[in-house]
Chains A and B, each alone.
Chain A
């Protein structure tokens, strides 16, 4: 019994050693925990790794079927804002704005044209449609929107010298006038030509003033007509009497003349 007991405890150690080994000893065989090669896993561990793998979420409706969310890229650079402000300034300050189609011209021709227009105080501005379109659609110039489609330029000025502008543009075949906005009135090409044919503002003003002043100028003569007529008659009568006093042979003549009157 003691031998069996000793054998069962620690496998034949002397009876004065009272320690005991654990009943269950895992067999530690094979390589260490950290190896250069991929250490083979215990099958149970492999099963555990397979069970606890990552499962990606699957929504009920796949995102392909949903409408794509258009990510609005509203960057609005400072440059774009600056250009917009410039365009708004142009529309506010100038009286005459003409929109013309711009086909490619040689550089020196462009410079010459600008020079001639500058002499009449007309500026040439190159604008980008993508900036001008939103600006116009929000302001009151909505009807100018269809003009800004292809490459175009703006001729802006504070005075309305349409005749000179048309003369310069006639000499440049690559620029075609599409329309104009003069004093907040939108004119087509025909309208601009008619506007050019009109006399200048000062002349028309003078005409209207003259037409208006015609009647008042006549009122004084109208009012005085009766008295003027009477004074004329009396003057004649006096002259007739004087003629009768001066010479009797002149009587029949003044009498005839007075009868003629």
Chain B
């Protein structure tokens, strides 16, 4: 016999410690920095390789987009992010902040159809380098993850590197899972162990950077399933 029991009321979420910045919408990022660079810079792809050392944790917001690979973001990407998030969020109840700087690294391109040689090409556009494990944007305010997730996934799919929308709890859980995997790995042979003790002369086939990258990174890619 179906009966109605006592209704368990769910308390509304507590948004007590949230401070809104002055401008809730994302700032417009310039295509070219205020002082454009004269000297053409070498390619330096090492700013894509490996794990990120900055902007790995949340500061003001509660949800964000985490980069799971390295890549360059140019002005088109910035505009896409700004407009999509601006369209999806409510500026009165939510805010969004950039966690990447404006494009400052010059990228040169030679004009089409020319042979090799003749010097380095002129500066074509500017980009920002993003390493894996870095937050791109942060969103916060009086909102839940479910409200924010749709437009953040929309943005994350369009980025040049694999990215996922996550919340503070999600990031914490991800790190915990990685730690647990590392601890309860049944395989006695780990990449780190082989590399640090140079078993079987493996370092001949590995890069000296593999001592820090430990088999989780290959080029600009982040191998999530490894250890």
Residues of A within 8 A of B (CB): 32-36, 38-39, 41-42, 44-45, 48-49, 51-58, 75, 77, 79-80, 83, 128-131, 150-151
B187-227: which residues lie under 8 A (CB-CB) from chain A?
187, 189-191, 194, 202, 204-207, 209, 215, 218-221, 225-227
B70 at interface, CB cutoff 8 A:
yes
Which one of A33, A34, A48, A51 has the greatest number of beta carbons of chain B within 10 Å? A34
Residues of B within 8 A of A (CB): 1, 3, 5-6, 8-9, 45-46, 48-49, 70, 181, 184-187, 189-191, 194, 202, 204-207, 209, 215, 218-221, 225-227
B5:A128 contact, CB within 8 angstroms = yes
Partner of A38, one of B9, B184, B219: B219
A55:B218 contact, CB within 8 angstroms = no
Chain B residue contacts of A55, Cβ below 8 A? 185-187
In Å, the complex CA distance between A56 and B187 comes to: 8
Partner of B218, one of A36, A41, A54, A79: A41
A38:B205 contact, CB within 8 angstroms = no
Q: A33-B209, A36-B220, A130-B5 are known contacts; what are 8 more A-B pairs with Cβ within 8 Å?
A: A33-B219, A34-B219, A38-B219, A48-B194, A52-B189, A52-B194, A128-B6, A129-B3
In Å, the complex CA distance between A79 and B190 comes to: 54
Closest Cβ of chain B to A82, distance in Å, is: 11
A39:B219 contact, CB within 8 angstroms = yes
Chain B residue contacts of A35, Cβ below 8 A? 219-220
In Å, the complex CA distance between A244 and B45 comes to: 160
A80:B6 contact, CB within 8 angstroms = yes
A151:B3 contact, CB within 8 angstroms = yes
Partner of A34, one of B48, B181, B190: B48
Q: Report if A54-B191 is in contact (Cβ < 8 Å); known contacts: A77-B8, A128-B6.
A: no
